[in-house]
Chains A and B, each alone.
Chain A
């Protein structure tokens, strides 16, 4: 191609011709538009094909369930394999993508002809509005999921106004994650930390002590997506009634991000950043680098979730601990971000009954529950009466499981602010937090920017 371009013997094109080219460029699209193409999206929208009768029996026929899961987390595949071992007539066709890719693809994949039966769900409100997810209420009744602790599934309910927290159920969890603070035991000893901090002030004292002793206080990623939102929300949860955070995430009318607690949390993050508690290159550190640096002993604390427990136990056995972020006062209620590893059933799924059977199985089958703990690192959820499988004593997995139960007992679970709308994380929280930690945004400005984007997205 380039040779034709550079041929110096070719004469210049005729001018009239060149001008003539412009006219069709403009005229053709307009003419075709005028020819009234139908508006996009007006085709078959509400085409839920799964009107088949609800059944709790698996049957004997051969079934292939399509599963769409997240790359980097072997849990879904491990559960699928075990299920096939127990029920050989059901096999899985698993497709995996990175989470951000999955979030972007989910609507189109669910709307397609080969919609997945079981799918890892991002924020679900838009999907429910577009009629792409199966209402699981019939299965709640059929399987008795109403006997699960109510708070376990509350985040997965969406009512007809698109508000989460109540209404029909649209998903269940492959494990129920909890977040908090991982710490390096060797470094903790070095800075004189003998027990997990019990107040925010005590935690800040440890940060200051570590800094003074030449230990990096926190390794936290903030590239691509804002990892500093973990400590930010951990603080925000403590500074006011966490129900207000949940209301905002669930899009309750009148809920706002612009509260004194949010500002105070932003001021604290700003203070920590200025004091050098985060690494200088936090904005250039991605998630993988953070976990790598933490396992190599390059930082005392890391804010993260129990999905890393099994990995950390392998990489730094005996040298890693976990605690829930402390309250403002030693007697305060423990609150932490905790959310199900959500999986739902596509409205156009070919085998919704088998998919629901699978979701019920993994909450109740002892083998499945063991896999959820060992591979997933999270509490398996399910009926309150079922025992949680034991993890090895002294492992961080055992600590995160205990924390999970403690949180459930205190009813202290809140959802991630990142899940409030489809793109609040990418459009506001991430860029604005990146600015906040280098002093390009003020705490007040941060809070207002997030609320502004939230309102913009809700108005669409």
Chain B
């Protein structure tokens, strides 16, 4: 998606064609060294430079992807002989009520992983950008970005302490006389999924804020000046200048966080392991369970492919919307 922007030179489409198309794969391919911009003169030598990256990409991204597709068509325990299953695995994924419920959980998480961090991020960014230059701004940005640096596993463990029966949240509730609301947040059916969502929101808020702050700092100050001269207050200023100018950044925030929500694994695995019952089981966790605990590699792969398609279905419209009107 973003390669499209990188690979163009002054409006001409690039000649290189190592385009990425797959959902989760995008994240990985971002680590492949940037492809050189092609010109007709350097076409062949260009390919030569691309070759190492392309080979790595092919071997570590495309080949596993294709193997996954292949596995979906079999019943296989990962070791012994496999049996041809045709599209049975896909049929199971799309009809098993348990699996559908699990997919639904991922969509609930989008609210927490995407909407909350982006909304809060916008608020925080527009406040912070007024103090971006001083040491205070640096401090604020560092603090906000910190959750992004902490490994998700550590965040998951820390939060499961905070949310436990004797954890900080309940201590605070007890201290202010709301003890009757205290509970095992991650252990109760009604609160477990939102509680996991809160952890995700905390992790992703920093990323969104930093992207949005960067975006705001690129907005031409003249626009704000003009708005002020026209008598706009800070709310009006936000909706008339800041928000429209941040369309692309918001698009990127949404893309990254929606992928994080749909493909979530670490936080859930650490904080709840999908429980209680199946209240917080998400597709990423179920794929892992199916493949490694239940040893149904075919079904796990089919769920993975469906998940990848879901990610694409959710992310492509966001990409489109955030680009239009330019």
Contacts and interface: CB of A to CB of B under 8 A. Distances in A.
Contact of A426 (B62, B188, B293): B293
Given A6-B211, A13-B13, A434-B276, A41 B5 contact: no
B77 A4 contact: no
B218 interface: yes
Interface residues of A, number: 63
Contacts of A129: 80
A371 B253 CA distance: 57
B19 A284 contact: no
Contacts of A427: 289, 293-294
Contacts of B10: 11
A7 B214 CA distance: 11
A41 B297 CA distance: 11
A41 B80 contact: yes
A280 interface: yes
Contacts of A460: 75, 296
B67 to A, nearest CB: 8
A444 to B, nearest CB: 17
A33 B66 CA distance: 8
B78 A29 contact: no
B153 to A, nearest CB: 13
Most buried by B among A22, A42, A104: A104
A285 B161 CA distance: 11
Contacts of A22: 21
Centre residue among B82, B184, B272, B326 by max chain A CB count within 10 A? B184
Contacts of A10: 5-6, 8
B86 to A, nearest CB: 13
A438 interface: yes
Contacts of A1: 2, 30
A293 to B, nearest CB: 10
Interface string A1-32: 11011111011111001100110110011001
B187 interface: yes
Nearest to A282: B187
Contact of A423 (B78, B274, B293): B293
**Most chain B beta-carbon neighbours within 10 Å: one of A222, A282, A427:** A427
Nearest to B324: A12
A422 interface: yes
Contacts of B323: 12
A13 B6 CA distance: 9
B4 interface: yes
Nearest to B69: A29
Q: Interface of chain B, helix or strand or loop or mixed? A: loop
Interface in B289-318: 289, 292-297
A284 B186 contact: yes
A438 B11 contact: no
B79 A130 contact: yes
Nearest to A434: B276
Contact of A45 (B65, B80, B84, B211): B80
A54 to B, nearest CB: 26
B4 A434 contact: no
B252 interface: yes
Contacts of A130: 77, 79-80
Given A32-B66, A40-B82, A108-B78, A223 B187 contact: yes
Nearest to B326: A12
Interface string B1-34: 0101110101101000001011000000010001
A108 B293 CA distance: 12
Nearest to B185: A284
Contacts of B188: 283-284, 438
B293 A422 contact: yes
B180 to A, nearest CB: 13
Contacts of A28: 62, 66
Contacts of A432: 277
Contacts of B194: none
Contacts of B248: 5-6, 8
A40 B70 contact: yes
A430 B275 contact: yes
Which among B77, B82, B84, B185 has the highest number of chain A CB atoms within 10 Å?
B77
A8 B326 CA distance: 9
B165 interface: yes
A6 B213 CA distance: 12
A283 B275 contact: yes
Interface in B73-104: 73-82, 84
Nearest to B2: A5
A40 B292 contact: no
B249 A126 contact: no
A103 interface: yes
Contact of A284 (B65, B73, B77, B164): B164
Given A17-B13, A41-B76, A422 B295 contact: yes
A435 B78 contact: no
B293 A111 contact: no
20 contacts: A1-B2, A6-B211, A6-B249, A8-B218, A14-B13, A28-B66, A37-B67, A40-B297, A41-B77, A107-B295, A129-B80, A130-B79, A222-B276, A223-B187, A281-B184, A284-B185, A285-B187, A423-B289, A423-B295, A430-B275
Given A10-B5, A431-B274, 12 more contacts: A4-B2, A10-B8, A11-B11, A14-B8, A22-B21, A108-B79, A223-B273, A280-B183, A284-B184, A284-B186, A423-B295, A440-B189
Interface of A: 1-2, 4-8, 10-14, 17-18, 21-22, 24-25, 28-29, 32-33, 37, 39-42, 45, 100, 103-105, 107-108, 111, 126, 129-132, 222-224, 280-285, 422-423, 426-427, 430-432, 434-435, 438, 440-441, 457, 460
